[in-house]
Amino acid sequence: MTRSSLVPIILAILAIAVSLMLGRYGAYLTHVVAIAAIGAMSLNLLNGWCGQINFAQAALLGVGAYTAGNCGNAGWDVFSLLAAGIASALAAVLIGLPALRLRGLYFAIATLAAQFIFEYLFKFAEPITHGVSGLLIQPMKLLGRVIDTDQGYAVLAICLLLLTWLFMTWIRRTDLGRAFLVVRENEVVARGMGINVPQTKMWAFLISGFFAGIAGGLMGFTDRLAHPEAFGMGLSVDYIAMIIVGGLGSLPGSLLGAAFVSLLPEAIQRFGEAFNMADQLSAFREMAFGLLIILFLIFEPRGLSAILGKTNVQRMMARFARRPTNPVRDQAKNQPKWRSVE
């Protein structure tokens, strides 16, 4: 175990302890943020690292929720989440197929079309989805034990978030992870470097889809209902907002963006209650959301992670979890500030 993986593990343990102390409502908010963070990280891999804009994230979450719901109801236990991941991964590959021929805005439009196709399927594939009335989902079973409390889901979601984080950190350092970045920067250069661009893109869709499915499955279990209206375009926009606000391409940014987007309405609500103007601020919540995205794009396009980067917190964490990933930087750092000329 490296020191860099120790930090997230410690933070996860702390998060679990805090969520258990906060009570049911606090635990609920914790698992909402943790699930959103898994989904945001999956989108970040595709969008932030590999440069493939995906407007169909909600559809992938939906596939995960319906798969997990059906498998969970059939008594698949923990395998229902795995099945959700696999089903969404396959769906993501399908969505990604046009990426072999299309790029940029054209591909983004293709994913938009995919989002609407899946929304239609959620409504009309009644044997699987129960149509517009939605699929009622039984509480999740984990190794035979029923999870029916928010605290239970908070612990599970944090554990899965930790695994997602560790996996993403690992894959980022592999050849495939580096290939993602090269494909994002320039496909022609990537080809010139011997990278199989279509295969790299497909891997990005497959991995991203898998984690989106896990997040969707968890959403299904915690909501106890998979409903077509819950996986509409608005949710895809929320996830895009998470990775933009958090910082495109940044793993901590995905986590911060997920927390920010999930908790902002709650913060505005509490602020309104404190000043006896909750009703008036309700209307402002949606507006504030849009306004903040615009402000971030103008003033800090690198998102919350960049803001956090300027604080002592990240410097402290970096000092603790320093890793020699940049030999040039480390070499330069180890050089004496001046050398005497012999």
Instruction: Work out which of 24, 101, 191, 315 binds another protein, going by CB under 8 A.
Output: 24
- Smallest separation (angstroms) from another protein to the CB of 196: 40
Backbone angles phi, psi at 142, to 5 degrees: -125, 110
- Smallest separation (angstroms) from another protein to the CB of 222: 8
- Smallest separation (angstroms) from another protein to the CB of 153: 11
22-30, 58-66, 70-78, 154-162 -> range binding another protein (CB under 8 A): 22-30
8-16, 19-27, 85-93, 315-323 -> range binding another protein (CB under 8 A): 19-27
59-67, 68-76, 199-207, 219-227 -> range binding another protein (CB under 8 A): 219-227
Pick between residue 105 and residue 283 the one whose CB is nearest to another protein: 283
Q: Does position 66 bind another protein by CB under 8 A? A: no
- Smallest separation (angstroms) from another protein to the CB of 136: 7
Q: Does position 225 bind another protein by CB under 8 A? A: yes
Instruction: Give the per-residue SS3 of the chain.
Output: CCHHHHHHHHHHHHHHHHHHHCHHHHHHHHHHHHHHHHHHHHHHHHHHHCCCCCCCHHHHHHHHHHHHHHHHHCCCCCHHHHHHHHHHHHHHHHHHHHHHCCCHHHHHHHHHHHHHHHHHHHHHCHHHHCHHHCEECCCEEECCEEECCHHHHHHHHHHHHHHHHHHHHHHHHCHHHHHHHHHHHCHHHHHHCCCCHHHHHHHHHHHHHHHHHHHHHHHHHHHCEECHHHHCHHHHHHHHHHHHHHCCCCHHHHHHHHHHHHHHHHHHHHHHHHCCCHHHHHHHHHHHHHHHHHHHHHHCCCHHHHHHHCCHHHHHHHHHCCCCCCHHHHHHHHCCCCCCCC
Instruction: Work out which of 106, 170, 271, 275 binds another protein, going by CB under 8 A.
Output: 271
Residues 147-176 within binding reach of another protein (CB under 8 A) = 148, 150
Instruction: Work out which of 163, 285, 293, 317 binds another protein, going by CB under 8 A.
Output: 285
Q: Are 201 and 52 in contact (CB under 8 A)?
A: yes
Considering CB under 8 A, how many residues would be counted as binding another protein?
A: 47
Site string for another protein, 120-149 (x = CB under 8 A): ---x-------xxxx-x-----------x-
- Smallest separation (angstroms) from another protein to the CB of 307: 5
Q: Does position 29 bind another protein by CB under 8 A? A: yes
State the residues that interact with another protein by CB under 8 A.
22-26, 28-29, 32, 123, 131-134, 136, 148, 150, 223-225, 227, 229-230, 256, 259-260, 263-267, 269-271, 273-274, 278-279, 282-283, 285-286, 299-300, 304, 307, 310-311
